[in-house]
Amino acid sequence: MSLDNAYCPALFVTAPGSDSGKTTLVAAMARYWSNRGKKVRVFKTGPDFIDPIFHEFASGSPAHQLDLGMMGETICRQHLYQAALEADLILIEGVMGMFDGANSSANLAAKFGIPLLAVIPAAKMAQTFGAIAYGLAHYQDNVNLFGVIANYVGSPGHAAMLEDSLPDGIEFCGAMPRDSSLALPERHLGLVQASEIEGIDEWLDRAAKALGDSCVLPLPAPVCFEAPDSESDNFLSSAPVSNLASQHLSGQTVAVAKDAAFSFIYQDNITLLESLGAQIQYFSPINDKSLPTADSLYLPGGYPELHLKALSENISMCTSIKHHIQSNKPTLAECGGMLYLLDQLTTKSGETTDMVGALPGKASMQDKLQGLGMLSAEIIGHSLTGHCFHYSKSDITQLPIAIASQAGKTRMQERVYLHRNTLASYVHWYLPSSPQLVCRLFLGQLNCTDGASI
């Protein structure tokens, strides 16, 4: 069945570089329009887990990632189409600088015909503001930069000077004041999670008011978002996944860890599992006494290193998880989820804590970043894609079954382990990149000898 295209106002918020205030501006904009009765859908460019949660708090709707490299154009197009069907406004937060990377914010915006709004940090800057805006608008021919917002502005006079510096054709959409109360707290993997910030709703309302008082915010013109070729090709809908037999995981329950220690979950992974017929049962390794009744287990990444005492002292949960794994039940452990399964984890200060002890090895937290990038691995004939970003080193006492590697010159690598029926690595996998492998994984059908290399 052919579907009609969808139309919705959309805006792509970008910047010259990281730490320009994009997340604050996008969250403030989402709350501003939500407070005015508009339904807002927000996306984050790249494989980020933390920023989308701020956008969910701000908009009241699910926020997803958009990444051409990890997800591919088809799934990105599906996401935007689904959002356009239901929303009054689509906002997309860019990643890093506007032109950074092969799958840059500029290229993603151009791919889907979405106008860009640049947030330019203007502290200690005058006419150079106009030069930066001009460069952003003209560096690539496919860019549609309709306007800029000046951020961290010192005074109304400073704002006027910045506005006067702009060349013709670039709209000045306002100036956000320099205000430390609007800054978001950070830690080693990025911003502190929204769920950990006391008074997050009050902060969002204050940021939205500051934005509304300082900036001109008309709704942008509607953008045409192309429909998938047919409903059956859209795994984001309730229809079966294309090219797979319907309901491969029908009757299966997947226990998914989700709490302050384990929260780095691509919503698309959950959507895929559900579209394959699985029932999702969330649980907390910190607070619950044992695993829920389930056929398989999914331990995503997060911050186990910040909750070592609570995790290690929940002995009944550790025992329950260890029994699950030793019973050869399927398990997927990613980054922090893998650390949790090891024998021990040592903090940067040298404190060592016993973990679940279901995966032979240990790990220690480091001061510097140990792994970052998009990777792919070949596992029993299937290519699985994901992303890693970690500050720990691990010593796991078995051979990997695969190596996840990065394309291009950097060639970063991460080992992938299979212990019993537990697939473990530092990689946060994007499961829709290989639905067939996902079915085999959660059905316990990887058929690899423990410790053997594929």
User: Domain for residue 238, yes or no?
Assistant: no
User: Domain for residue 91, yes or no?
Assistant: yes
Residues labelled as active-site residues = 335
Whole-number Å distance between alpha carbons of 203 and 207: 6
Residues 309 and 187 in one domain: no
- Boundaries of domain holding 295: 250-442
pLDDT digits (tens, 9 = 90+) for 277-313: 999 999 999 999 999 999 999 999 999 999 999 999 9
Q: What confidence score (pLDDT) does residue 184 get?
A: 66
Residues 292 and 402 in one domain: yes
Last residue of a domain, one of 210, 225, 240: 225
Residues 193 and 280 in one domain: no
Phi, psi of 440 (to 5 degrees): -65, -40
Residues 386 and 346 in one domain: yes
Residues 183 and 324 in one domain: no
User: Domain for residue 131, yes or no?
Assistant: yes
User: Domain for residue 154, yes or no?
Assistant: yes
Residues 271 and 412 in one domain: yes
Residues 255 and 221 in one domain: no
User: Domain for residue 208, yes or no?
Assistant: yes
Q: What confidence score (pLDDT) does residue 2 get?
A: 65
Q: What confidence score (pLDDT) does residue 454 get?
A: 35
pLDDT digits (tens, 9 = 90+) for 62-85: 999 999 989 999 999 999 999 999
User: Domain for residue 70, yes or no?
Assistant: yes
Q: What confidence score (pLDDT) does residue 240 get?
A: 39
Predicted structure pTM score: 0.89
User: Domain for residue 320, yes or no?
Assistant: yes
Q: For position 35, which CATH number holds?
A: 3.40.50.300
Residues 142 and 267 in one domain: no
Residues 76 and 214 in one domain: yes
How much is the mean pLDDT over the chain?
90
Q: What confidence score (pLDDT) does residue 203 get?
A: 87
Residues 332 and 220 in one domain: no
Whole-number Å distance between alpha carbons of 277 and 246: 8
Domain count, the chain: 2
Residues 320 and 355 in one domain: yes
Q: For position 430, which CATH number holds?
A: 3.40.50.880
**Residue ranges of the chain with pLDDT lower than 50?**
187, 238-243, 245, 449-454
SS3 of the chain: CCCCCEEEEEEEEECCCCCCCHHHHHHHHHHHHHCCCCCEEEEEECCCCCHHHHHHHHHCCCCEEECHHHHCHHHHHHHHHHHHHHCCEEEEECCCCCCCCCCCHHHHHHHCCCCEEEEEECCCCCCHHHHHHHHHHHCCCCCCEEEEEEEEECCHHHHHHHHHCCCCCCEEEEEEECCHHHCCCEECCEECCHHHCCCHHHHHHHHHHHHHHHECCCCCCEEEECCCCCHHHCCCCCCCCCCCCCCCCCCCEEEEECCCCEEECCHHHHHHHHHCCCEEEEECCCCCCCCCCCCEEEECEECHHHCHHHHHHCHHHHHHHHHHHHCCCCEEEECHHHHHHCCEEECCCCCEEECCCCCCEEEEECCCCCEEEEEEEEECCEEEEEEEEECEEEEECCCCCEEEECCCCCCCEEEEEEECCEEEECCEEEHHHCHHHHHHHHCCCCCCCCCCCC
Residue type, 282: Y
Q: What confidence score (pLDDT) does residue 446 get?
A: 86
User: Domain for residue 59, yes or no?
Assistant: yes
Residues 139 and 287 in one domain: no
Q: What confidence score (pLDDT) does residue 412 get?
A: 83
